[in-house]
Amino acid sequence: MNRRAVGCGALALTAFLLIGAWGVWRATGPAACPASLPYEPAAYEPIGDQTAEPVLAGVDEDLVESGSISFGLAAWTVWVEPGQAPTASGQALPPRIVLECGGGFQPYQRAT
């Protein structure tokens, strides 16, 4: 095997790994909470400030974990009011949800 073949192979491998790492970095979601969630049947907009625990205004009970929402490689845990958790993956989310994101919990409301 000659040096030129080894050099070209090493260069190709390095380029492949760097481009792959760059692609994964671009596809992962941000650590911060999203400005809006494009989710059917309507987008969700943030309401209020981020909190240290999953809470919704006017709800006295502890919220329950209902799964996660993912867009691309980004995924966030969803918290909802007790009894409001969707029972099937295709079922719509309730009007108000809380996402675990950005080191805390951000409430969202379905936009009209």
Residue with tokens 């006017």: 58
What pLDDT score was predicted for residue 16? 94
What pLDDT score was predicted for residue 30? 66
User: How far apart are alpha carbons 27 and 24 in whole angstroms?
Assistant: 5
For the chain, how many helices (H) and strands (E)? Answer: 1, 5
| Average pLDDT, 10 consecutive residues per value, the chain (112 residues) | 87 93 76 80 88 92 89 84 84 89 91 77
**φ, ψ at 6 (rounded to 5°):** -65, -45
